[in-house]
Amino acid sequence: MKYIALILISGLFIASCTCGNKDVTTSASYAAFGDSTMVVDGAIDHSAMLAKFTDMQDGDSIQVKFSTKINEVCQKKGCWMNVALNDDTEAFVKFKDYGFFVPMDASGSDAVMEGMAYKSVVSVADQKHYAEDAGKTQEEIDAITEPKEEYTFLASAVKIKE
């Protein structure tokens, strides 16, 4: 009788241990750059971010957190990146106070970032500088002849999905 009770208790113990694991979900792992206390929850997606940029007037800025895919990273230091807002539109991302950089091989990665979004006009000289950083050909650099308006994001925190 003792053995039956022991077997029954052992069986219940084993069953209770395995049942609890069915509801466990694993969350994605992120590498943090800048303010590491930022949480990825609550971020809007890239298409909602594009809508916010589109609605902005000159001089407007908004504090926001959004998720997107990294299209391009500075190949000199990782000191800026271009991120997707849709198939045809990007935002240029700089990092607050030049205080952190992202890995130069982060292109194609999913990311969540928090900071200030605004529109800016980029001079020809700055465009050429960024083109050099991106490893563009001299022909592509020489083709830059006019300032351009772009969507800009000053990130205080970036988390890149690992």
Q: What is the domain partition of the chain in residue ranges?
A: 29-161
Residue 78: which residues within 8 A CB-CB, separation 6 or more? 101, 102, 103, 104, 106
Mean pLDDT along residues 136-162: 96
Task: Determine the residue type at 16.
Answer: S
Query: The whole model's pTM is what?
Result: 0.79
Task: Determine the residue type at 3.
Answer: Y
What's the topology of domain 29-161? OB fold (Dihydrolipoamide Acetyltransferase, E2P) (2.40.50)
Q: Is the pLDDT of residue 157 over 50?
A: yes
Q: Is the pLDDT of residue 88 over 60?
A: yes
Mean pLDDT along residues 9-16: 48
Q: E strands within 21-142? A: 30-34, 61-73, 80-84, 90-95, 110-122
pLDDT bucket at 5, cuts 50 / 70 / 90: very low
pLDDT at 18: 43
* Alpha helix positions (H), the chain: 2-19, 46-55, 124-133, 138-142
